[in-house]
Amino acid sequence: MKITSANFLTSSPDLERCPESELQEFAFIGRSNVGKSSLINLLAGRKDLAKVSSTPGATRLINFFVMNQGWMLVDLPGYGYAKVKKDSRQQFQRAVSDYLAQREQLSCVFVLVDSRLTPQAIDLDFCDWLAVGGIPFVLIFTKTDKSKAGKVKANVEKFLEALSERVEGEPRYFMSSTKTGKGRGEILDFVDQVLKA
Ligand SMILES: Nc1nc2c(ncn2[C@@H]2O[C@H](COP(=O)(O)OP(=O)(O)O)[C@@H](O)[C@H]2O)c(=O)[nH]1
Ligand SMILES: [Mg+2]
């Protein structure tokens, strides 16, 4: 799929204030600093669509972008950022879980995982939560240019193995690098397939 337009629509603090729209939504989520904003910019082919933030946890709203006037890219707040005050943390966690569990337009969640790391409980727990809720998700292992290919492969395998102990079936997964553009074509083609299904 070629991206011909990518436009910011709105930011919503909670599910109730998400936009009325009939477009299918593809949501992106992961730990702060996993490379979510960079990946969204790569997919959109824009340098500054999602702000590549140097202050992790700063983005606490659900951000909606209309792609090709035909689908919605949804940028969800990063999880697992401990320095946010407890009240506001609970507030945005509820917004995200409400959105994921109840948003009817949601077609698929892209869970971003840092390919440099061995399996992290927070990512596994989140995938487990999605699976239990019957929320469709796929994985994107990010920053693959930052480690040797062998290490990336080992981390991916370990993650899938750890996940298989908790979740039935192996999720589809992609590898990405915003430095080389790796993954862009495959991820957009996947979105295209879901839209056409
Ligand atoms: N080398 C490399 N750096 C990346 C990649 N993706 C993100 N980064 C860097 O990782 C940091 C966090 O990225 P950002 O997109 O802001 O992460 P976010 O907090 O998940 O939105 C930034 O310094 C990015 O430049 C990647 O694929 N390769
Ligand atoms: Mg960001």
**Exposure of 159 in the CB half-sphere (CA atoms within 13 A):** 33
pLDDT at residue 57, as a whole number: 47
- What tokens appear for 156 in the block? 């991916």
CATH at residue 48: 3.40.50.300
Q: Is residue 1, in this structure, part of any structural domain at all?
A: no
Q: Is residue 132, in this structure, part of any structural domain at all?
A: yes
As for how many domains the chain has, the answer is 1
SS3 track for 161-181: HHHHCCCCCCCCEEECCCCCC
- What tokens appear for 87 in the block? 């009240």
Encode 47-64: b = buried (16+ Cβ within 10 Å), e = exposed: eebbeeeeeebebbbbbb
Nearest CA to ligand 1 atom 5: 143
Instruction: Choose between 91 and 160: higher pLDDT.
Output: 160
Q: Which of 23-32, 72-81, 180-189 has the lowest mean pLDDT?
A: 72-81
Nearest CA to ligand 1 atom 25: 38
Give the pTM: 0.94
Q: Is residue 141, in this structure, part of any structural domain at all?
A: yes
**Residue 82 pLDDT greater than 60, yes or no:** no
Distance 149 CA to ligand 1 centre (A): 18
For residue 12, report the phi and psi dihedrals to the nearest 5 degrees.
-125, 135
Over residues 106-164, the pLDDT tens digits come to 999 999 999 999 999 999 999 999 999 999 999 999 999 999 999 999 999 999 999 99
Among 33, 38, 115, say which to mutate for ligand 1: greatest number of ligand atoms within 8 Å of CB.
38
Mean pLDDT, the chain, rounded, equals 91
In this prediction, residue 91 has a pLDDT band, given cuts at 50, 70 and 90, of low
- Mean pLDDT score, 47-51: 83
pLDDT at residue 80, as a whole number: 66
User: What residue numbers bound the domain in which 29 lies?
Assistant: 6-196
